Amino acid sequence: MQMITRSLQQKFHSERLVSQIPDFCVLFNDQLTNDFNTLFCSLPPERQYLAIGLPGSYHGRLLPKASLHFAYSSWVLHWLSQVPTAVADPNSPAWNKGRIHYLGARQEVVDAYSSQHAKDIDAFLEARARDLVSGGLMALVFPGATHISAENSNTYYTDIPTEIALIGSCLMDMAKKVKFVIQYLTIEHLSKNFHKNSDYVRRNRK
More confidently predicted of 184 and 79:
79
pLDDT digits (tens, 9 = 90+) for 140-183: 988 777 655 544 545 454 555 555 555 555 555 555 555 556 67
Confidence (pTM): 0.74
Q: Which of 21-30, 74-83, 186-195 has the lowest mean pLDDT?
A: 186-195
Average pLDDT value for residue range 5-34: 85
Over range 8-22, report the average pLDDT. Answer: 81
- DSSP class of residue 27 equals E
- Report the C-alpha gap between 116 and 193 in whole angstroms: 12
Percent of the chain topping pLDDT 90 = 42
Whether the CA torsion 21, 23, 48, 68 is positive or negative: it is negative
Q: Flag whether pLDDT at 45 surpasses 70.
A: yes
**Ranges assigned E (strand) in 33-160:** 50-55, 68-74, 132-141
pLDDT of residue 163: 56
Confidence of residue 15 (pLDDT cuts 50, 70, 90): confident
Condensed to tens digits (0 to 9), the pLDDT of residues 27-44 reads: 999 888 888 999 999 999
Q: How far apart are CA 130 and CA 127, in angstroms?
A: 5
pLDDT in tens, 55-102: 999 999 999 999 999 999 998 888 899 989 999 999 999 998 877 778
Q: Which residues pair with 182 in a beta bridge?
A: 79
- 113/61 Cα distance (integer angstroms): 23
